[in-house]
């Protein structure tokens, strides 16, 4: 009998989470400036033991890859206008 390995996939970003430093879910005071948004993402994931690599910035959205121990564990889209964060991995 051949052993079968089952990969466990756990998203790092819960569905519909948000960066709590700047807003109540879905409501920002104002749209975040690019530096504020990058700082919010970095703080949010550093608290989970991860690091953030920005893939691209387009309009109000930031697409970022999330890494833990040099391995990609998630890919997210961050809305600078609402503070919402969604996994797109």
pTM over 0.85: no
What's residue 1's pLDDT? 45
Say what the pLDDT of residue 47 is.
Answer: 87
Domain residue spans of the chain: 17-87
The pLDDT value given to residue 18: 58
State the pLDDT at residue 4.
Answer: 38
Let me know: does 80 contact 37? Beta carbons within 8 Å: yes
Separation CA 47–CA 30 (nearest Å): 24
Determine the Cα–Cα distance for residues 85 and 15; give it in Å rounded to an integer: 8
Burial class (CB in 10 A: 0-12, 13-18, 19+), 80: buried
Extract the residue ranges of the chain whose pLDDT is less than 50: 1-9
Query: What is residue 34's predicted lDDT score, i.e. its pLDDT?
Result: 83
């Amino acid at each position: 009998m051949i052993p079968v390995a089952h990969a466990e996939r756990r998203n790092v970003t819960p569905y519909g989470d948000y960066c709590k430093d700047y807003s109540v879910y879905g409501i920002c005071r104002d749209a975040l400036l690019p530096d504020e948004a990058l700082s919010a993402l970095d703080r949010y994931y550093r608290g989970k033991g991860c690091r953030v690599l920005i893939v691209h910035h387009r309009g109000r959205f930031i697409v970022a890859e999330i890494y833990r121990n040099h391995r990609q564990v998630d890919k997210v889209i961050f809305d600078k206008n609402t503070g919402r964060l969604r996994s797109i991995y």
